């Protein structure tokens, strides 16, 4: 039996990453910074395949009880859920740290995952 978890990046999280990378590359005119950030996202998300529970659950309710966890890449939080039964990690969202996290999580209905 493998200890590797399957990664599932939900469409909302894929859109978050795509929007962030495009914004940095085009609006901020920093294509190399965008590529570097994209690589950092990919590296951190791929690391979740192994021992994803090493990252604690968020402190905010109701997401803590739902098992939502977050990790940080530069100025962004990556939110995810670990499913031991399916041996999967579902990446739900990537949100800029300067935004109201509770509001963003509520709007995304992350407590219903």
pLDDT score for 108: 78
What is the C-alpha separation between 16 and 20, in angstroms, rounded?
6
Please identify which residue in the block is written with the tokens 């090493």: 54
Domains of the chain with bracketed CATH: 6-107 (3.30.2310.20)
Mean predicted lDDT score pLDDT of the chain: 92
pLDDT, tens digit, for every residue of 17-71? 999 999 999 999 999 999 999 999 999 999 999 999 999 999 988 899 999 999 9
What is the sign of the dihedral through the CA atoms of 30, 33, 9 and 108? negative
Q: List all residues 6 or more positions away from 62 whose beta carbon is below 8 Å from its beta carbon.
A: 111
pLDDT score for 103: 86
Q: Are 87 and 81 in contact (CB under 8 A)?
A: no
């Amino acid at each position: 039996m493998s200890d590797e978890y399957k990664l599932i990046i939900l469409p909302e999280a894929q859109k978050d990453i795509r929007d962030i990378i495009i914004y940095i590359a085009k609006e901020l005119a920093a294509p190399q910074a965008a590529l570097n950030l994209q690589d950092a996202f990919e590296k951190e998300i791929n690391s979740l395949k192994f021992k994803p529970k090493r990252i604690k659950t968020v402190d905010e309710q109701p997401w803590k009880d739902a098992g939502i966890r977050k990790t940080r890449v530069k100025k962004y939080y990556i939110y995810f859920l670990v499913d031991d039964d399916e041996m999967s990690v579902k990446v739900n969202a990537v949100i800029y740290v300067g935004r109201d996290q509770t509001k963003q999580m509520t709007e995304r209905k992350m407590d219903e995952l």
